[in-house]
C-alpha cells in the first residue's frame, strides 16, 4: 500500500472516533441523570405506605364498614346544630349536620338497635328499618352559644337508603340525632368539615 494514502486513511479514522466517543458519553450521562431525577424515583408519595388522606369529595368507592366511627374534638361547648341536609351521590347517601357558633365538633356515629333519647331513655320514633345514632360533641345550651338549635325531623328527599333524620335533644354537651335507613345496616363513614362547622355521614349502598 502507498504510505501517504495509508496515513491519510488512518488520520480520517482517528478524527471520526474522536468525534463519536464524546457524543456517546454525553448521551449516556443524560439518560442516567433523567432516571435519577424522575418523580417515580424521588417522590416519597410514590411509595408511601401511609393510607389515603380523609376525603370530603364525591369519590366512589371509599373505605367504609359497620364499626362505630369516632373523631374530631369535643372541647369548647360553643356549637349548636342549626340545619340538616340529605343528598344522593354516586353509590351512597349523604347526611350533613350543619352547626353554628364557635369550636370544632367531635362525633360518634354507630348503628343501634333502638333509638332512645339521652337522659330519659325514652324511645325515639324514626322512619326506617335500621338506625344510625349520631352524637355531635362540643355542643352547648342556647344561652351559652347564642345560637338557637334545630330539633326536629327531616324527611330525606332524593336519597336511596336514608329515609329520615331526627335531631332529638341536647344533653350534657352533646346533640343526639338518628338516621333511619331502609333495609339492613350498611357500611358508612363520618368526618368533620369547617367553614361552617359540620359533621358529614355517608351511607354506602352496599
Mean pLDDT, to the nearest integer, of 162-183? 94
- pLDDT tens track for 52-111: 334 445 555 689 999 999 999 766 789 999 999 999 999 999 999 999 999 999 999 999
Lateral strand order in the sheet of 198-204? 79-89, 92-101, 198-204, 188-193
The band of 43, judged by pLDDT with boundaries at 50, 70 and 90, is very low
Q: Is the pTM of this model over 0.85?
A: no
Domain limits of the chain?
A: 3-41, 69-204
Average pLDDT score, the chain: 78
Closest CA to 127 of 195, 185, 74, 179: 179
Q: What is the CATH number of domain 69-204?
A: 2.60.40.3500
Among 43-57, 111-125, 135-149, 178-192, name the one with the lowest average pLDDT. Answer: 43-57
- What grid cell was written down for 87? 343528598
- pLDDT tens track for 26-36: 333 322 222 23
18-22 contacts at long range (C-beta below 8 A, 24 or more positions apart): none
- What grid cell was written down for 55? 376525603
Would you state the pLDDT for residue 141?
Answer: 85
The band of 22, judged by pLDDT with boundaries at 50, 70 and 90, is very low
Among 6-10, 20-24, 124-128, name the one with the lowest average pLDDT. Answer: 20-24
Closest CA to 147 of 93, 103, 89, 112: 103
Please provide the distance, in angstroms rounded to a whole number, between the alpha carbons at the two ends of the chain.
89
- Those residues whose C-beta lies under 8 Å from the C-beta of residue 26, and which sit 6 or more positions away, are none
- Residue where the block lists cell 360518634: 108
Mean pLDDT, to the nearest integer, of 2-18? 47
Amino acid at each position: 500500500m502507498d504510505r501517504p494514502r495509508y496515513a491519510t486513511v488512518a488520520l480520517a479514522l482517528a478524527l471520526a472516533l474522536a468525534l463519536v466517543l464524546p457524543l456517546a458519553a454525553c448521551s449516556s450521562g443524560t439518560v442516567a441523570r433523567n432516571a435519577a431525577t424522575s418523580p417515580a424515583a424521588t417522590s416519597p408519595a410514590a411509595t408511601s405506605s401511609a393510607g389515603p388522606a380523609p376525603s370530603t369529595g364525591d369519590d366512589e368507592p371509599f373505605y367504609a364498614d359497620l364499626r362505630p366511627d369516632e373523631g374530631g374534638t369535643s372541647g369548647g361547648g360553643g356549637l349548636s346544630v342549626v340545619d340538616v341536609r340529605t343528598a344522593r351521590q354516586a353509590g351512597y347517601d349523604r347526611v350533613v349536620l350543619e352547626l353554628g357558633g364557635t369550636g370544632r365538633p367531635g362525633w360518634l356515629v354507630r348503628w343501634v338497635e333502638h333509638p332512645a333519647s339521652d337522659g330519659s331513655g325514652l324511645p325515639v320514633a324514626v322512619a326506617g328499618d335500621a338506625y344510625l345514632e349520631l352524637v355531635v360533641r362540643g355542643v352547648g345550651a342556647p344561652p351559652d352559644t347564642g345560637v338557637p338549635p334545630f330539633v326536629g325531623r327531616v324527611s330525606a328527599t332524593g336519597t336511596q337508603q336514608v329515609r329520615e333524620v331526627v335531631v332529638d335533644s341536647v344533653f350534657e354537651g352533646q346533640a343526639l340525632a338518628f338516621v333511619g335507613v331502609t333495609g339492613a345496616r350498611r357500611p358508612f363513614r363520618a368526618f368533620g368539615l369547617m367553614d361552617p362547622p359540620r359533621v358529614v355521614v355517608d351511607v354506602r349502598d352496599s
